[in-house]
Amino acid sequence: MTDFMSIMEIVGTIAFAVSGALVAIGANLDLFGVVFVASITAVGGGILRDMLLGIHPPFIFVNYHLCLLAILVAIVVFVIARFKRKEFEQFRHKMESINNIFDAFGLAAFTVTGSEVAYSAGYGENGFIVVTIGMLTAVGGGIFRDIITNTTPYVFKKHIYAIASILGSILYYVCRNTSMAEGWTVALPVALVVGIRLLATKYHWSLPKIHIEE
């Protein structure tokens, strides 16, 4: 399972770093701001996960290659946006769609890795903890990103987001407790989360809201 989790961590880090960098660029932050927001988007959920599970220091500070990867990705996105400004501006209206794709894969990857860390930490008998940690790992970085860029966290206002992570984590927990092959144990929850997120974006699925002004 270690190899699959390592791949998921890399996929999630790259996806969330790109997502964070795009949001930061859209918020007109400078290079440091873009790198910081991209990095906290990529590793913030993992830090929150480890703090809740009592893992000290958090994994990212021991295996800092993921943080370096997030920084590198952020710099690459910033450079492309700066020196290909015309092309970047032309596709700016598509930025949300592009960001949603990266965000979906990051959400799926960290849902799986967060669930596995909780499971391996000795909570395999407690599905509630595994699912909760999986979800918080997946959405934590995005919440930090949106707070820093002064916007209401995406997870609280638009489309099916945290619910997709919860369902993916539940599926992972079920698969993990069966004799299913490791590849399917990872692939099925990832496919479920990505599928729900992309469909929710396309068809504008959202949870009910109360519009006081109406």
Residues 55-94: pLDDT tens digits?
A: 999 999 988 899 999 999 999 999 999 988 877 777 666 7
CA distances 32 to 37, 39, 68, 75, 78, Å, are 8, 10, 14, 9, 10
Q: Which pLDDT value is given to residue 92?
A: 63
End-to-end CA distance of the chain: 51
The residue ranges of every structural domain in the chain are 2-82+94-203
Confidence band, pLDDT 50/70/90 cuts, at residue 195: very high
- Dihedrals φ, ψ of 64, to 5°? -80, 5
The label of the residue with tokens 């920084």 reads 71
pTM exceeds cut of 0.85? yes
Q: Tens of pLDDT along 86-120?
A: 777 776 667 777 888 888 999 999 999 999 999 99
As a whole number, mean pLDDT of residues 133-150 equals 95
